Amino acid sequence: MIEIAANRLMSRRRVLIVTTSVACAGLATPRVALAALAPMPRQTGGPFYPTTLPLDSDNDLVLIRGHEGQASGRVTHVIGRVLDVEGGAVLEARVEIWQCDSHGRYHYVNDRASPPLDPDFQGYGRTTSAADGSYRFRTIRPVPYPGRTPHIHFAITTTRRTRLITQMYVAGEPLNERDAVLAQIRDPAARARVIVPLDPAPQLEAGALAGTFDIVLGP
């Protein structure tokens, strides 16, 4: 049974790699090199960055190695590039994400909310940007929890810059207008950079959503 589940997991991960590579050209933002780009606004990491990292910390948060099931929630692909202010690719940046599960619970922290944890949601993932600055994650569509609109936390670490922590929000969410953390971004243009449309992406997998979140790092 374990062998069958492992084979299915590996098969799904191969599909993820192949399909996102094929579809990335249609989702990723082209290189912009003529005008200086505005850096991504910094935001709080909150109290929910994992205190211990899961053994499975790859870029697929929907499947956990050794688990037969997958996370509850709508599968969502987040694809983007890590860029500098001149529009150049930042390669080998460590990109981390963490978010609550479909029940509104964070994993690997002292989250005292009452709903049960989803045991099949990884909760945290990381990857490294490629030579063209690209990165990708397979996760679930973020959900709200008391006091917060749906969001995904991001941390980007490079050898030459201060670690950037920011958050990605979902376009069209009514709670965006009342979210105190998002409201801290006063500049409308800066706020728009962290709000991402999530659109149906059948080219990646049936029923999935996808969005592009390009991250511009300051000097």
| 197 vs 74: CA distance, rounded Å | 15
pLDDT at 4: 42
CA distance linking residue 215 with residue 40, whole number of Å:
6
Q: How confident is the model at residue 219 (pLDDT cuts 50, 70, 90)?
A: confident
pLDDT confidence of residue 136: 98
Q: Over the stretch 90-149, which tens digit does the pLDDT of each residue have?
A: 999 999 999 999 999 999 998 988 899 999 999 999 999 999 999 999 999 999 999 999
What would the pLDDT profile of 149-183 be if each residue is shown by its tens digit? 999 999 999 998 999 999 999 999 999 999 999 99
pLDDT at position 77, please?
98
* CA-atom Rg of the chain in angstroms: 17
Phi, psi of 4 (to 5 degrees): -65, -45
Residue 21, pLDDT score: 47
Element (H, E) at 140: strand 134-140
Per-residue model confidence (pLDDT) at position 9: 45
What is the pLDDT averaged over residues 50-66? 96
Share of the chain above pLDDT 90, in %: 79
The DSSP bridge partners found for residue 136 are 79
Residue 3 has pLDDT above 70, yes or no: no
pLDDT of 112 reads 86
Bridge partner residues of 114 (DSSP): none
Q: How much is the pTM?
A: 0.85
Domains contained in the chain, CATH given:
2-216 (2.60.130.10)
